[in-house]
Amino acid sequence: MALSNLDRRSFLRGAGASALLTAATFEPAMAKVPSVLMRSLPEDFDFDSPYDRVGTDCIKWDTPLATYDGIQVGMGIADMDFRAAPCITEALAKRCAHENWGYLRRPQRYSQAVVDWNMRRYGLEIDPESIVWTTGVHPGIIAALQTLAPPGTRVVMNTPTYNGFYTDVRFAHNVAEDNEMQVVDGRYQIDWDDFERRVRRSNVFILCNPQNPTGNCWSADDMTRMGEICLEHNTVVLSDEIHCDFVSAGEKYTPFASLPNREIVDNSLTFKAASKTFSLAAMKVAWYFSTNPTLLARVRANTRADLTTLGMEANYAALTEGDEWFDQLSPYLDANHNFAEKEINSRLEGIRYTKAQGTYLAWLDVNGFAEAIDAAGIAARENETAVTQVTPENIVQRWFANQAGVYLNPGHSYGTGGTGHMRMNLGTSRQMIGTAIEKMAEAIARI
């Protein structure tokens, strides 16, 4: 369906509408710079003007709109609202001008683009021959589980963790083994005794670095300790580093594969993509690699990836020409975190947010608010007749969707330790975050 034919009227209501209309008249400061000067300046990307995605079948906006009446801001899932980096759009337009879509080969330049990105940005050396393409991090993790974890195997995860891991574990007929993290001064830390106890009875551990949803950027010391415990108990580490490019100011991403102990690194596979960094999730390209040829060969034998021409073009352009775009986006997102932390803690009674070290996700402690609306009591009453279990976080999600028009992800879906929390996606214009918090504050004031 052509975008121009979409019916946007349902979205252009209330504050959502005024936010977008204001944005339409927004004039970037660069417009005032004489054109002769502009040509010599690096391009200034606009992340501030809201970009309307409604009606494109995107999960972030169209799913909440289809589920609840009156949604004004979709703050769920993990992709970003920004207009794609121009280098991606240009590469796709150029390729579309050639009107043939036959089978695609995979020349070395694609792997080299991955190698160069990781070397340039993190000093991480990857052997191009060790890169295995997949149509997403999920298919890669599933291939690894199906190779390394016979049905019924317990798979250790530090929870709360990415809800999609539970789907992967179920898909591979395995069982999730939650190592619940401890919260100290608003920060999540590993419970080491519990971790070791669980690793002992497992043979796969899924690490998430940076951690979705808590934002933890794991230190080399923490990962070395995890790696040592896993090595001792013959548990392979699957390190999902899809969020690695999103690191808050003053924080650091350490690739698991960069740890100094070679034995620890050889006991792991790393899963990565450019799909979070450049919001290319539905382009279906990701990859994994390992320094251990035997381990790699075993998982590779269970991996099949049918990649698409447009997916590869978009990813190649992003990895080879997208640095400048992302280098401007990164501080914008960092400022989004600062803005959200200040606004949420000062305006949303019963909700606390401690700025994440990484990712563009905000993990909100909503315990006080849930109590104020008796979410647990409502859930308990609904469970007397409900077919599927209702959690207090389901009630909080529904409350904000109905009362504020704001859609958030419920904490219970991120495993043990997720109760009393909601996840808010900050990968959007600051104006949208402001609108969401404003609407939530107004709704809370009406209680």
Ligand X SMILES: Cc1ncc(COP(=O)(O)O)c(C=O)c1O
Residues of this chain that bind ligand X (CB under 6 A): 78, 136-138, 162, 164, 208, 212, 240, 242-243, 273, 275, 281, 286
| Nearest one of 152, 178, 184, 181 to 165, comparing CA atoms | 178
For ligand X, give the closer residue by CB, 49 or 134: 134
Question: Among residues 267 and 425, whose Cβ is nearest to ligand X?
Answer: 425
Distance CA 441, CA 443 (A): 5
Residue closer to ligand X by CB (options 212, 394) is 212
Q: How far is the CB of 32 from ligand X (least distance, A)?
A: 39
Report, in Å, the least distance between residue 360 CB and ligand X.
Answer: 11
State in angstroms the smallest separation of the CB of 242 from ligand X.
4
Closest approach of Cβ 279 to ligand X, in Å?
11
d(Cα 243, Cα 212) in Å, to the nearest integer? 8
Nearer to ligand X, 309 or 413 (CB): 413
Least distance from C-beta 213 to ligand X, angstroms? 8
> How does 40-68 read in b/e, with b if 16+ C-beta sit within 10 Å?
eeeeebbbebbbbbbbeebebbbbbbeeb
Min. distance of Cβ 82 from ligand X in angstroms?
16
Nearer to ligand X, 49 or 239 (CB): 239
Nearest residue (CB) to ligand X, 135 versus 267: 135
Q: Which is nearer to ligand X, 277 or 336 (CB)?
A: 277
**Least distance to ligand X, CB of residue 138, Å:** 4
How near is the Cβ of 307 to ligand X at its closest, in Å? 12
Nearer to ligand X, 336 or 435 (CB): 336
Chain-centroid distance, C-alpha 290: 22
Using CB positions, name the residue nearest to ligand X. Answer: 136
